Amino acid sequence: MTDIPPIHSLRDGAVRAIRAADLDIKTLLAQETARRWSERSLSLRSPRDASVPDRPGRPEKPDLIPPRQMPKRALTTDKGRIALLHAIAHIELNAVDLALDIVARFASEPVPKSFFDGWMQVAFEEAKHFRMVRDRLRQLGADYGDLPAHDGLWQAAHDTRNDLTARLAVVPLILEARGLDVTPALQTRMREAGDLESAAVLDVIYEDEKGHVAVGAKWFRFLCARQKRDPAAAFQALVRANFRGPLKAPFNDIARAEAGLTPSFYRSMTASVNT
């Protein structure tokens, strides 16, 4: 087993995982910190905690390129399915760091400890997802880092680093919710291409992501209630201020509603929101 450094607190474990460039250590740290926190064997913070980095640790590969330069993927070929799985691995890796960042960066916020319970469960599951997708890539003769990727997901974290309510609006309620919209079609296309193993990985991710959006919606509504703001109106204002471009239809209304994200939040925002 890969050795992991000592963990002094929840925030310390989260920061160490974010900083780790070795992805095996990153995912192990994320999951071990989540386990210890769930067992209540860690304090929330410690004077020895390192500062939260502006960027997460990463290996030398993949090369990062603008999103518009990412090649299109045809799932009818092995190369196309590898490219899609590589893109999903990159999303899941960013999701690990995003969940850890919301814990580490906002560890001093006046929120219940159950806030951190939810986000560490998310971090644990995102680490599981990354490993599953990477294992599948390796079964197909590839690996994470073989293809280029883009940096748009972490940009959303940087843009909302000073506002927890904005972070919740943008990351779980836009970016993760988008996964609920697009994954069912990808599951179907994988099965149609005969790649049942990859489809099974997507099945696990899809079911878990419903819970991740639900965690985001729960705490977004909590903060809005404390601020005496209407959640849908607050969401729309925060998206206009912090998200670049329109929200993309079609929406998986059923899965979104199951997660606590009703159409009143997003239906009016499919036109450009930053005019």
As a residue count, the chain comes to 275
Is the confidence at residue 173, as pLDDT, over 90? Answer: yes
User: Within the chain, how many helices (H) and strands (E) appear?
Assistant: 11, 0
- Give the pLDDT band of residue 273 (cuts 50, 70, 90): very low
**What integer pLDDT is reported at residue 271 of this predicted model?**
53
Residue 200 has pLDDT above 60, yes or no: yes
Question: How does pLDDT run across 47-77, given as a tens digit for each residue?
Answer: 999 999 999 999 999 998 887 777 777 788 8
Q: Give pLDDT tens digits for 217-230.
A: 999 999 999 999 99
Q: How far apart are CA 221 and CA 81, in angstroms?
A: 38
pLDDT score, position 45: 95
3-state helix, strand, coil in the chain (%, to 5): 65, 0, 35
Model pTM?
A: 0.94
Q: How far is Cα 274 from Cα 21, in angstroms, rounded to an integer?
A: 35
